[in-house]
Amino acid sequence: MICKICLNDDSVRNISFNKDGICCFCEKYGLIKDKLSDRKTLEDLFMQRIERVRGRYDYDAAVGISGGKDSVYVLYRLVKDYGLKVRAFTMNNGFLSSKARENIENTVSRLGVEHEYIEFDMKRLQRFYHYSMKKWLVPCIACSYIGYASMVNYASRINAGMVIHGRSPAQMIRYYDKDVYSELIKPGLLPPEDTDISALYSGLLESIEKKIDKDIMLDVREMLMKDTDKNDLREFVAFFLYHPYNERNIVEFLKKEIGWNPPEDYDHYDCTIHNAARYIYQKAEGRPHSLPEISALIRMGEITREEGSDILSSLVIKEKPKEELDRLLEFADVSGTALFLKAKAYCKLVKI
């Protein structure tokens, strides 16, 4: 079955369809659509968050940057347009590309921003990637959790008023109301004083811990949350929840203003195993993993169904990215044969 509004089909995890053939993600998006288009209110909500912390901490905000367009753009806007005292950081998960490092160094130098790389205990990192690959087939779950936990912890460690990230609107609402991240969007659409940050994060951690082995969870907490005071957590703010997003304009702006210089294919160029993860997803789901994100763009009115279908076709990986796969499998200590047998079985299951 394919959604009557977007392109989501039965292969999308946690999906359901109503009697009119509309998927649950389009249906839930309808509940917040007006709020996401109310630019005046969104601008006010962002400024409330800014002014609530400005000058009260050692840094107004902490910003994670990968060298990619979105995080670099967010850092630029916060420094140049909002005049915030920002400290930037980069999570070194072992797969950061040299080109990304080059753009990171150029960006922080141009903006005059303090920056540091967050390093992890490699054995612990490998354990978590191994667990993520064995349980979910891909490293992305581990990477996302490590990234978000690191951001929250980092803000506490350096005493920043908030942590601000650059996840795109499509990434934020692709699984709206069916994933953990949705719980961060809902309070983000309210005045900051209306949210109990400690209770919110405690609830999120509890829901995550239900899906993760206890030993791994304790290991990750020790590695990522050791500087966090549960009574003084800082808000995790989505820049593009409050600001318009146009990928082409962002790319051209950054090239002109700070000499951002990515490769021609700049989508996730910062990650040296991104294509390996895409390939595994494609084998497991029977189509490009970007389907929910493309569907989000359709329901937001950014592209048509026909354009979305063309984009989806262009994202099919036709040749196995052997070098990237070998690097990932070796790091995570996972058998490629066992991995793809499991992916094949999963693909059959989702198509039943």
Integer Cα distance of 47 and 65 in angstroms: 22
Integer Cα distance of 30 and 26 in angstroms: 6
pLDDT at 320 over 90: yes
pLDDT of res. 324: 97
pLDDT of res. 54: 97
Integer Cα distance of 103 and 98 in angstroms: 9
Distance of CA 120 to CAs 85, 94, 129, 158, Å? Answer: 26, 9, 12, 17
pLDDT of res. 146: 81
Query: 162-165 and 235-238: which strand pairing?
Result: parallel
Distance of CA 216 to the CA centre of its chain: 21
pLDDT at 351 over 70: no
Cβ contact 168:292 at 8 Å:
no
The CB density around residue 127, as the number of other CB atoms within 10 Å, is 19
pLDDT at 41 over 80: yes
- Look up residue 167 and give its DSSP letter: -
Average pLDDT in the chain: 92
pLDDT at 350 over 80: no
* Structure token pair of residue 277: 């993860």
Mean local confidence (pLDDT), 38-49: 97
Query: Which residue segments constitute the domains of the chain, with CATH numbers given?
Result: 24-32+263-350 (no CATH), 35-242 (3.40.50)
Closest CA to 173 of 268, 73, 249, 241: 241
Q: Bigger pLDDT: 281 or 149?
A: 281
Cβ contact 93:146 at 8 Å:
yes
Closest CA to 71 of 163, 175, 185: 163
Residue whose token pair is 């076709």: 313
| Angle at CA of residue 255, ends 251 and 258, nearest 5° | 120
Cβ contact 63:265 at 8 Å:
no
Alpha helices in the chain (DSSP H): 24-37, 39-53, 69-80, 98-111, 122-136, 140-158, 169-173, 182-188, 197-209, 214-224, 239-242, 247-258, 274-285, 291-299, 305-314, 322-332, 336-350
pLDDT of res. 228: 76
What is the SS3 assignment for 192?
helix
pLDDT of res. 179: 86
Residue whose token pair is 């099919």: 316
119-123, 209-213, 268-272, 287-291: which has the minimum mean pLDDT? 209-213
* Structure token pair of residue 196: 């109990």
Please write the tens of the pLDDT for every residue from 47-100: 999 999 999 999 999 999 999 999 999 999 999 999 999 999 999 988 999 999
- Look up residue 96 and give its DSSP letter: B
Integer Cα distance of 283 and 146 in angstroms: 25
pLDDT of res. 352: 44
pLDDT at 231 over 70: no
Q: Bigger pLDDT: 324 or 122?
A: 324
What is the SS3 assignment for 179?
coil
Please write the tens of the pLDDT for every residue from 122-147: 888 899 899 999 999 999 988 888 88
Among left, alpha and beta (phi > 0; psi -120 to 50; other), residue 56 is alpha
Integer Cα distance of 62 and 74 in angstroms: 11
Q: What is the pTM of this model?
A: 0.93
